[in-house]
Structures are given as C-alpha cells and as structure tokens.
Structure 1
C-alpha cells in the first residue's frame, strides 16, 4: 500500500509542477493536469493502485481536504448561491433519468438482460455519485464481472465530463485581478504558520466528526463531516483558519489522480463496449441538454457546471470543480446540492431499474 500511495503522491506532485512551470499546464490548471496524468499512466502502462491505497486517498486524505475547504466557508453567503444551483441541479437529475430510460430503449437489444441493472446503477451514480452506485448495486446484486465493467465505465465518462467542465468553466470565466504578493520573508513565515494552523484545524474536525459518527452510526459519514466542518468554520479565531482553503485545494488533488488511474479504457473497448457507450450516452445527453437549457434560461455557466457535477460525480467532485474554477463561494452550496443527490439517487436508480426490468433478467 505504501508504495502505491507514494506513486500517487509523486504523480500528483508532477502534475503540480507541470501546472506551475509550463504554459499549457497553467492554462489547464492543476486538477485537469493530474487527471490527465492518471489517465495516461493507467492506459499506457496498465498500472492501477491497490484498493487499499486508492481507499486511503479517497477516504481519509480526501476527507481532510473536504474539511479544510469547508473550514473557509462563511455561512452567511451560502443561501443565495445554493438557490442558484438548485434549479440546474434538478434539471440535471431529470435529464439523467430521461437519458437512462431513452438509452435503455435504444440500446436495449445490445445490453440484453443486463439492461435493467445498468439502468439502475447508472441512474443512481449520475444523480449523486458513487455512494448511490454502491447502494443500488447492493440491492440489485449484479454479477461481479458486470459490476467491474460498470464501475470502470462510470469512472471514464465522469473523468471526461469533469475535464470538459473544468475547461468550459475556465474558458468562460472572467480573469480575476491579481493581488500584489507580499515580501518573500513575510510570505514564508506567515505561510508556514497559516498552513500549520490550518492542518491542526482540519485534523481536529476529522477527529470530532469521527467521534460524532460513533455516536450517530445511522447518519452518513459525509453529512457528519460536512456539518462538523461547517460548525467549526463559524467559530471565532478566523485568522487561524486563513490557510485552510489553499491547503484543502492542494490536498484534494490526489483524489483526481486516483480517478485517472482508475479509468482504464482498454478493458472497456471489448466486451464492455456496450456498457461504456450506454454510460457515455447518459452523461453526454445530460450535458448537452443542460447546456442548451442553460442558454435558454440564462443560467450562469459556472453554477450550471457545478450543479451538473453534483449530479454526475456527487458532493466531493462538485466541491472540487467549484474550487478549481476559483469559485470558493460555491463550495458549500455544491456540497449541499450534491447531498440532495444522496437523498434521491438511490430511489431513482431502483425506479429506473424497475421500469426497464424484463423477465429475461431473472
């Protein structure tokens, strides 16, 4: 495990260096660079991290990053932004369901008896993220081979849509005015102190959320973590949390390296091709229809993309997209809207599976 984690961190460090030292890296941004590095490494070499290493990155480290990002949130500014995300998020969920049902009819003969199972897991994961995927998969109990192919297809199409969303958002955003940098000595001393305190805040929130989770085992851990972080963010001593946002933004990058490394395309181009095409159809149709609807309804681009990501990838990836687009005010609304997907995604997945169920699936 340790060696795999080290490789992931080294690839992330390479992405950080390329995003700062090359013109194309600065244009793409660190998140897209590390995602692309992961995709290239796994599809050229075939190497993938162990489940334990990927689980540690996606679990404790990403939880720390989420805590750090939310520790910088001012609740007084949340509702106006959350309200702007609600309508495009609802549209994203509805469009996902329509795309799943249409795709089930169009590709039904190709998908065969597995159609209803795929409809269920893809509806679930594309209306709230992988937590819903796991919940519906446990209920429908697909064969292990189908589950592996569906998981890979989910990762591949999500990674592509996240990269496209990031590119669209960066291309459509207005450049922010640069602030003058402090003197080198002051920046070094102040930065070290700020980041050290930020780390203590983040670790404290993780510990507190673990204790609360033990007392409330029925509550999803993401709800416990985000609630604990938000309460801590409203406490006094704001200056001691000054480095949380930047530190959280850096710590969440290995998560996207893992996503890239978990997206092998080769295995999907054979027997898994129908599954990949079905997943790509769902995300592409949702994305295209949402962007057209956005032009008609004049929704802001960043808000629309973050809302779509909350549906396709869930709260964590919506938060990551908002911060990567330098829209920190959308961080908490992205998580809040994404949590709605947790509430509805499992039910919608089971409904979609039932609608497309055929006796041949028995």
Structure 2
C-alpha cells in the first residue's frame, strides 16, 4: 500500500509539472524537467515527504531504462545530420571544453570533493555534454550513494538554470536577432521532435523490444566480462537500432521517452534536501558551477577567434549543457527561429557522446 501511495504522489507531481509546462508561458520557458524537479523539491522540503524505497527503485530501474531506450531511438543520423552540421563545430568545441573543465575542476577541487570526485566527474561530464539523459545513464552505471546522487542532480539543475538565464541575457544585450526565417517554418518541425505525434504505441513496441534484447545481451556478455556496465550495452544497441529502416515507426520515440523520464526527476526532487546542497553539498555545487563557467568562457573566447555568431555559440553551448529541448527553448527565446531544428538535431547528437565521455572522465579521475 505504501508503494502505491508513493507512486501516486510521484505521478501526480509529474502530471502537474507537465500541465504547467504545457499551459503556462513561464512553464514553457522552464520546461517539464525543471518543473517536476522544483515541485519535488518543494514538496519534500516543505512537508518532509520522501519517495518510498520500492517505488523509487521501480521508477529509477525499469521505467528509466525504457525512457533511455526511447530517447536514443530518436537519434537517426540520416535525419539529424543535415540540420546538425550548422552548429556542429561550436557544439564539438563545447564538448571539448566541458571535458577539460571536468578534469581541471576535479583536480583542483580534490580535497573538497573527497572520494566522490570520480563519480561526480562522470555524471557532470555526461550531463554537460548532452543533457539529463546522459546524467541518468552514467548515474545508473556508477551507482553513487543516494545522498550524493540527490545533491548532484540538484546542483546540475541549479547551474543549468543559471547558465540558461546568463545565455538569454547575453543574447538580448548583444541584440541577437533572427536571420529572417519566419518562426512558423521551423517551430512546427522542431515541436514534432518533442511530441509523441500519434505514434506512441509503435514507439513503445520499439522501446520494449530494444530493452528486452539489451537485457538478454547484457546477461550473455557479463558471463565473459562481469563488470561490463549494462548501460553501455543498452545505449550502443539502441543507437544501432535507431539507424534501421522504418524510421517513421519511431517518430514518437523522443516525445514518449521525454515523458517517461520525468518521474526520475520527480524522485530526485523528492530526495533532494536543499539544506544539504547549501551545506555539505556546497563543494558539489561549486564543482558543477566551475565546469559550466569554464565551458562558457572557453566557448566565448573561441567564438571571438573563429568568428562564430553569438546566437549559434550560445545555442550550441546550451545543447551541450542542457540537451536538445533546452537548446530549442533558448533558440526560440532569443528570437532565432531558424536555429530551432538545428538545436534539437545537435542536441540529439550529444546523446551519442555523453555516456561514453562520462564513464571515461570517471575512470580518469578514479
């Protein structure tokens, strides 16, 4: 009974966050993920309610694995590459800056971060090279203590929100304007990446098939390599499946995956005491802020050298820091409608990199 009540609380908070993101202007700016995390934080810190262990395990286990598979099934390189090329070089430089910042920051802050340094490096390298999907994937592989995971999740979103606000202020201060492409020409295609678009049942079949095959393949491979992270098998197999024919049957994968991954962030919000972030979690927050600050500074310096447009640079940075949906939100917010679809495309390419780079960073700082 306690598990059902806890699941109902998680689903109600998630549904409220989704409704606010759909129905309010400020909610659309924040996005569903940020809203469910904030709502979870409010409920937890004001009422003291926490998710029941079995309910949290079900959300963080099978449901999140399915969501990861669905999101990765959207990375059809034949579809995203033509649009992604426009932002490819700034985005790749953002990824390089992120990885360097993770390693430099981890080295400088070792006395403050203690034994959790390598795990934090892995999760932050992952999330800041493609967004929250990569954070979830690497956290599943590294299995940090619950308290550390909660603090890292909160720090991730606090820093991301701050950088989004700074990017918006920089763009508006410099008078970034659209290159003249009407919003209607790009908004609709971009939104189709982010909604189930009527193909949810086909998407669900794809996701379940990949997840079951991945579990079987992981069990077989772990007989020969017992420490093989299951998330590597899932991500690699899913990315290969995303290149198969019949792409139209997978058109609902991204939207459905984006919906199904939201309960994970609700659980993280419910498990994240703000007092811990501002107390013993302060070094974690400082580490996350240092990574994003170094990435942003490095990318802006490269922009001056290479002559990139400010709008392109900021959107590429946001695709790295926050992923495709937040890059789309920034492109729209700064009036660069023609960057909307490239922002989503380059953010999806970030899914190819984040898990592997996160695990590499964790290994280097172990």
| TM-score normalised to structure 2 length | 0.72
RMSD, aligned CA: 3.4
| 1:360 aligned partner | none
Report the number of matched residues: 313
Q: Which is higher, the Rg of structure 1 or of structure 2?
A: 1
Cα displacement (A) at 1:263 = 1.5
| Partner of residue 100 from structure 1, selected from 75, 98, 106 | 106
Residue 338 of structure 1: aligned partner: 354
CA gap 1:322/1:221 in 2 versus in 1, 3 angstroms: farther
1:251 CA displacement: 1.5
Deviation at 1:221, TM superposition (A): 1.9
Using the TM superposition, give the Cα deviation of residue 127 of structure 1 relative to its aligned residue in structure 2, in angstroms.
3.0
**For residues 119-268 of structure 1, what are the structure 2 equivalents within 5 Å?**
119-128=117-126, 129=135, 150-165=148-163, 177-178=183-184, 192=198, 194-217=199-222, 218=225, 219-268=228-277
Q: By how many angstroms is 1:68 displaced?
A: 1.7
- Structure 2 unpaired stretches of 5+: 127-134, 189-195, 331-339
For residue 183 of structure 2, give the secondary structure of its aligned residue in structure 1.
coil
Structure 1 residues 62 and 302, CA gap change in structure 2 (3 angstroms):
farther
Aligned to 1:3: 5
Residue pair 1:68, 1:198 contacting (<8 A) in 2 also? yes
Once residues 136 and 210 of structure 1 are traced to their aligned partners in structure 2, the CA distance between those partners, rounded to angstroms, is: 18
In 2, distance between residues paired with 1:131 and 1:237?
26
Deviations 1:253-293 (A, max 9, x none): 22222222221113455xxx2x3221122111222222121
Secondary structure at the counterpart of residue 214 of structure 2: helix
Q: Which moved more, 1:10-19 or 1:323-332?
A: 323-332
Q: Separation in 1 of the partners of 2:108 and 2:236?
A: 38
Deviation at 1:157, TM superposition (A): 1.0
User: How far apart are 1:14 and its partner, in Å?
Assistant: 0.5
| Alignment CA distance shift 1:121-1:6 (3 Å) | same
Query: Which ranges of structure 1 fall in alignment gaps of 5 or more residues?
Result: 139-146, 182-189, 310-317, 351-362
Q: What is the match of residue 59 of structure 2?
A: 57
**Does the aligned pair in 2 maintain the 1:149–1:268 contact within 8 Å?**
no
Local SS of the residue matching 2:125: coil
Deviation at 1:335, TM superposition (A): 2.1
Q: What's the counterpart of residue 316 of structure 2?
A: 303
**How far off its partner does 1:163 sit?**
3.3
Superposition TM-score, scaled by structure 1 size:
0.73
Distance 1:34 1:132, change over 3 A: closer
Q: Is 1:73–1:331's contact at 8 Å kept on the other side of the alignment? A: no
Q: For the structure 1 residues 347 and 237, does the alpha-carbon distance in structure 2 shift closer, same or farther, using more than 3 Å as the test? A: closer
